[in-house]
Chains A and B, each alone.
Chain A
Amino acid sequence: MEKAKAKIDYNNPVITIRDLYKSFGEMKVLQGIDLDLYQGENLVVLGRSGTGKSVLIKIISGMLRADSGDVTVLGHDMNTIREKDLQELRIRIGFSFQASALYDSMTVRQNLEFPLVRNRKGMSRKEINTATESVLDAVGLLSAINQMPVELSGGQRKRVGIARTLILNPEIMLYDEPTAGLDPITCIEINDLINEVQQRFNTSSIIITHDLTCAKSTGDRIAMLLDGKFDHVGTFNEVFDTDDKRVKPFFDYNFVE
Chain B
Amino acid sequence: MIPLRPLMDTTESTVAPLKKNRSPFLQRLANFFAEMAKINSFIFRFFKEAFMPPYEFKEIMRQCYETGVRSFTLITLTGFIVGFIFTKQSRPSLASFGATSWLPSLVSIAILRALAPLVTALIASGKVGSSIGAELGSMRVTEQIDAMEVSGTKPFKYLVCTRVLATTIVIPILATYTAFIALLGGYLNVSGNEGTSYRAYMEAVFDPITFLDFESSLIKSIVFGFTIGIVGCYQGYYSNKGTEGVGKAANGAVVTAMFLVFIEEMIIVQLTGWFR
Contacts and interface: CB of A to CB of B under 8 A. Distances in A.
Contacts of B151: 90-91, 95, 114-115, 119, 164-165, 168
Interface residues of A, number: 41
Contacts of A51: 5
8 contacts: A50-B7, A58-B10, A90-B149, A97-B147, A101-B146, A115-B153, A119-B153, A164-B147
Contacts of B17: 25-26
Contacts of B12: 24, 64-65
B194 interface: no
B120 to A, nearest CB: 26
A174 to B, nearest CB: 8
Given A63-B146, A101-B143, A102-B144, A114 B153 contact: yes
A54 interface: yes
Interface residues of B, number: 23
B2 A246 contact: yes
Contact of B143 (A26, A87, A97): A97
A88 interface: yes
**Residue among B9, B10, B152, B153 with max Cβ neighbours from chain A (10 Å):** B152
Main secondary structure of the interface of B (DSSP, over half): loop
Contacts of B5: 48, 50-51
B197 interface: no
A74 interface: no
A108 to B, nearest CB: 14
A35 interface: no
B263 interface: no
A131 to B, nearest CB: 14
A249 B2 contact: yes
Interface in A20-68: 24-27, 29, 48-52, 54-55, 58, 61-65
